[in-house]
Amino acid sequence: MLFTFIFAIALAASHHVFYKSLDGKPPPKTTYEFGGLHASLSRQQINLATGAALAFLVKAFLQIAIAKSAEQSMWSSIRTQTLKLETIDRLSTTTSIFWNVFDVRLWRTNFATMMPAVVYWLLPIASFITPATLTVEWVEVRSTFVDRVPRIDFTSLNFANLPVMQGTSPVYSYKIPQLSVLQTVAAGTIGGNILPIPSQHPNSTWQLEFTGPVLSCESIDEGSAQYRDISQNILNSMIDIDGVCQTSYGYISWVPGITSSLPFPNVTSANYTYEPPSQTLGPPFDGVTAASANNTMCLYVASLPGMAAGGITCQENGTWTQRALDMLFNMTVEKCSMYNTSYTANFTYVDGIQSINLTTQGLYNYVGYISSAEGAYPLMIEPTAAVGIPTAYNVQLVQNFAYQAIMDAFGRMLVGTVSVSAYDGPQTITTQMTNTPLLETEEFNFLQGFNVTSSLQTAVDSEPRLWNGLSVKYPSNSTISMTSVIEELFKNATISLMSSPQLQPNYSSPYAPPDTSITITPYFIIYSYAATLLWVAYGIALGVTMLSMIPGLVSVKSNGGSYTTNFSTIIRVAHSINLSAPLQPEHTEGKEPASRDVKNLFVSFPVGNNGYYKRVTPDGLEE
């Protein structure tokens, strides 16, 4: 009994040591193949099976100790009391027949035997808990190091297309953005979000601080001369020679030219022909003087919610009609100018999913449109420097070309018009604006649900019997301003350039940025061992087992030795017991179940050196 209890303690300690050796380590990936059986066994399965086996062995040895204790208490009871044979049968099977623990008569007869029996049956609970103290969990392990990350190199010549015009002095004229810039800006503007920027680490964070271009928009005051000039110019573009409005605009975007900042600067008086906006970058300036509010790159965007279809008379006797003026009612004109600013971009990747928190601080200076660079050394500030003096390069000029390439690509997405003809024609769209989130703003939300005078949808809406289906209605309650959307779209398009391999820094360049501090947070699956829970479970099991052993140890002393339920022990004891009545020949075969006469026999031991018995009346046993 004591040996098995001590061995159970050793097994519990081994269980703890085994789990402690696994704690904090990743589960092994080793697999053992059994080719002949077409089966395999992983090291992970072996670890789990080992823990379960140790829990089972601890439980088994503790139950053996408890069973031995209950056995000694049972012998003490039958040696010192006169008991029915049925009662002795039940006492001797309390650890093998579960239902015996609910026999109230046994509790009255021998509490010292029944209490260990209850512990015996409850002990397996510990074997359920202890294997569960080893689990697996995700943990993060942070580390910080310096490495290269995706960036934008505004000192790269990969932004602008600058073909040379040969002559006495070469002229490198700006033509269009490079294809990588056009594609990236278009994708970022249409999607309305920053494009996916690759990261070498699926769980990482870093911060970039750099200067870059930004758009800042402001509304043209309705009472200003510029607003009146724009309104007049739009009205002139709508009217034909008969005074009828041939076109009504809902959206107009343009960039100013050298001599005019109007949306329709080219007018032919003879035939009233107006060319729609087509230039996507402007106005140009010489690049010698500093850019100012008058010559900075900018973009105009106008919203005209009064757009209407139908042959409307716009002018009578040289005066604009009210219908014509209504088409310009509530017109909003925004001027978005380019500045240099400071970006702070916080990149976070969780399982490869990108999240970028972008902020800008300050508007440092205007950025103008430089149409060309001239000379044999167009990027040098001091091409004739003396020997020994380092040549100074015009880094600002290269950055300017990069900025205007971005502005040009962005302008190509917005410049143009959305209009409707005078005679119920369809909408005419000469802009990519309808592919962008700008269409969902408060100022342009009306374009989504705009219908000409009559259409199949309007007919169905007015007469439901024509079609029993229901179409989705365009929302008309947007509160997002076009100013914030334009500014946000430009920022997103600028940051999206980091996704293009062609626009990354060449780290052999003297202008290459330094490496960036990166914090990576890889997630690992490791074993997690709850040692406290294991020892609480085992501590309770060991404690109640120890208490259950006390009656057994006392019984060994009172019995003068240890007894078992071995057949040899029963044979030896049977020679000295007294039965209340002799067994009949038909009862000596020992078959189950025993007859009622046999069960009601009383068994008593003669008084010996090791104790005495007290006779219990039959009535007392049956109560």
| Token pair 């240099």: residue | 340
Q: What is the pLDDT of residues 253-269, one digit of tens each?
A: 999 988 888 998 876 54
Higher per-residue pLDDT: 508 or 609:
508
**Predicted confidence (pLDDT) at residue 475 exceeds the cutoff of 70:** no
Query: What is the rounded distance in angstroms from the CA atom of residue 343 to the CA atom of residue 331?
Result: 33
Long-range contacts of 605-608 (CB under 8 A, 24+ apart): 605/78, 605/79, 605/80, 605/576, 605/577, 605/578, 606/576, 606/578
Q: What is the mean pLDDT of residues 30-44?
A: 79
**Predicted confidence (pLDDT) at residue 501 exceeds the cutoff of 90:** yes
DSSP 529-555: E-HHHHHHHHHHHHHHHHHHHHHHHHH
Beta strand 353-366 with 332-350 is: antiparallel
Structure tokens at 197: 């920027």
Query: What is the rounded distance in angstroms from the CA atom of residue 370 to the CA atom of residue 348?
Result: 36
Contact (CB, 8 A) for 339 and 299: no
Q: What is the mean pLDDT of residues 330-347?
A: 96
Nearest in space to 58 (alpha carbons), one of 556, 535, 547: 535
Higher per-residue pLDDT: 312 or 164:
164
Higher per-residue pLDDT: 408 or 567:
408
Nearest in space to 595 (alpha carbons), one of 24, 66, 89: 89
Q: What is the mean pLDDT of residues 481-486?
A: 96
**Predicted confidence (pLDDT) at residue 194 exceeds the cutoff of 90:** yes
**Predicted confidence (pLDDT) at residue 421 exceeds the cutoff of 90:** no
**Predicted confidence (pLDDT) at residue 356 exceeds the cutoff of 90:** yes
Mean pLDDT of the chain: 84
Q: What is the pLDDT of residues 281-300, one digit of tens each?
A: 988 876 666 677 778 999 99
Q: What is the pLDDT of residues 108-166, one digit of tens each?
A: 777 777 788 888 888 888 889 999 999 999 888 899 999 999 999 999 999 999 998 77
Q: What is the mean pLDDT of residues 599-621?
A: 56
Give the whole-number percent of the chain exceeding pLDDT 70. 86
Q: What is the pLDDT of residues 359-385, one digit of tens each?
A: 999 888 999 999 888 887 788 876 555
Residue ranges per domain, the chain? 2-135+527-622, 164-521
Within 10 angstroms of residue 174's Cβ, the number of other Cβ atoms is 21
Angle 263-265-270 (CA atoms, 0-180°, nearest 5)? 130
Confidence band (pLDDT; 50, 70, 90) for 621? very low
Nearest in space to 171 (alpha carbons), one of 287, 291, 294, 278: 287
Structure tokens at 166: 């040969």
Which amino acid is it at 363? L
**Predicted confidence (pLDDT) at residue 451 exceeds the cutoff of 80:** no
Structure tokens at 424: 């119920």
The pLDDT of residue 290:
66
The pLDDT of residue 387:
56
Which amino acid is it at 22? L
Query: What is the rounded distance in angstroms from the CA atom of residue 393 to the CA atom of residue 397?
Result: 9
**Predicted confidence (pLDDT) at residue 8 exceeds the cutoff of 60:** yes
Structure tokens at 574: 């049977």
Q: What is the pLDDT of residues 563-593, one digit of tens each?
A: 777 777 777 777 777 776 777 776 666 667 7
Confidence band (pLDDT; 50, 70, 90) for 223? very high
pTM of structure: 0.72
- 44 DSSP 8-state letter: H
The pLDDT of residue 415:
95
Strand residues in 414-538 grouped as ranges (E)? 416-421, 427-429, 516-520, 523-529
Q: What is the mean pLDDT of residues 204-232?
A: 95
